Amino acid sequence: MEKRFIYADNAATTKVSDAVLNAMLPYFNEQYGNASSIYGMGRNAKRDLEVSREKVAKALSCDPKEIYFTSCGSEADNWAIKGVCERLAPRGKKHIITSVFEHHAVLHTCEALERQGFEVTYISIDENGIINLDELKNAIREDTAIVSIMYANNEIGTIQPIKEIAEICQEHDVIFHTDAVQAIGSVEINVKELGVDLLALSGHKIHAPKGVGALYIRKGLVLPNFIHGGAQERNKRGGTENIPAIVGLGVAMEEVTTGIPQRVENVTKLRNKLIDGILEIPHTRLNGDREKRLCGNCNISIEGIEGESILLMLDMYGICASSGSACTSGSLDPSHVMLSLGLSHEIAHGSVRFSISDETTEQDIDYILEVMPKIVNRLREMSPLWEKIIEAEG
């Protein structure tokens, strides 16, 4: 079997597209002006900064003045949640609602706010990774400041009923924030139709560079300054703007929000083939809802072996995958997302995530499906846990 190189970890990060790279290059050594400078090169940088803002706004169907550039999705999440809490705490609103399987950018922010006297309610998810809307309704109180529910989960790919959540929040006059880092480019997003108040996104998930993101803040919602310093981002976020990355983000948003239905259809076919093929291996299970999931996400638990071991052997075959969030890959603990599904520690440890893109080919899928049974069989032969599972079956 000829060894191939297959990148199937796009949920962790994506490569910069050719169009994005070409758009960025002049801003490193030709148009390198500071957007706050008043001479020509500075004015050009400011102009291109605002053009990129318009591109991001168009992709989300909002006003450019509602878009604020950040360094990443985590910063956008922090600004949204901390900003709302700081603004509403003096009114006695010190209650936050989120879900148990949010990205750590949200969970750790909520934990930090708990240490400052805020109370947090963590909404559960069902066995398919979808939140319960009735549980959300019942959790809202008079002192609830913000609800933060991610658009699509970064590990199992489940897509949440964002519009319905927004309607519930509107009925109770509660601000709604969604982390849409994984959803951009896979779901058509119109923030006005959805009714969200705050939406976070990140460039490196959509073929823009690392180190740039954005926060949509609905017009009329005023948040405190997140970084004090200069007058950048309409006095809300001090610091010289990263013009090359922002230009790249604008181009990437144009690219990934064009032709979404066809791209989703094509990638979904490959994803389903991958899911069906791996599930032919005995004692495997798909994590997350089969239909309400991102088109490129395939997260499967394989009993009797650990995900880290699978990843190491996949790497030997030239395949890049993940056992969970890239942000917690150094942890030895089972994924909190897997545990929130009700999985045992043993099964949670045996999860592997393939996240494919429109650059993935059918030959790539065939290669993964050829390799996976060999890897699983070899690891199970060395696994005491697998021996116990076989013995228990009789």
Cβ count near 361 (within 10 Å): 13
Task: Copy the structure tokens of residue 367.
Answer: 């290669």
Active site residue 298: no
Strand partners, 120: 96
Q: Which of 169, 295, 320, 327 is labelled catalytic?
A: 327
Task: Copy the structure tokens of residue 244.
Answer: 């090359």
Rg over CA atoms, the chain: 22
Decide if 256 contacts 55 (C-beta within 8 A): no
Q: What are the residues whose beta carbons fall under 8 Å from the beta carbon of 219, sequence distance 6 or more?
A: 63, 65, 66
Residue 233 CA to residue 220 CA, distance in Å, equals: 16
Strand partners, 179: 200
Q: What are the residues whose beta carbons fall under 8 Å from the beta carbon of 96, sequence distance 6 or more?
A: 81, 85, 110, 113, 118, 119, 120, 121, 144, 145, 146, 147, 148
Residue 160 CA to residue 152 CA, distance in Å, equals: 6
Provide the residue type at 196 as one letter.
Answer: V
Residue 201 CA to residue 53 CA, distance in Å, equals: 13
Residue whose token pair is 């390799």: 371
Decide if 72 contacts 327 (C-beta within 8 A): no
Length of the chain: 394
**If you write DSSP's letter for every residue of 37-58 in order, what string do you get?**
--SHHHHHHHHHHHHHHHHHHH
Residue 394 CA to residue 383 CA, distance in Å, equals: 17
Residue 297 CA to residue 11 CA, distance in Å, equals: 8
Residue 4 CA to residue 381 CA, distance in Å, equals: 25
CA-closest candidate to residue 215, choices 314, 77, 330: 77
Q: Active-site positions?
A: 327
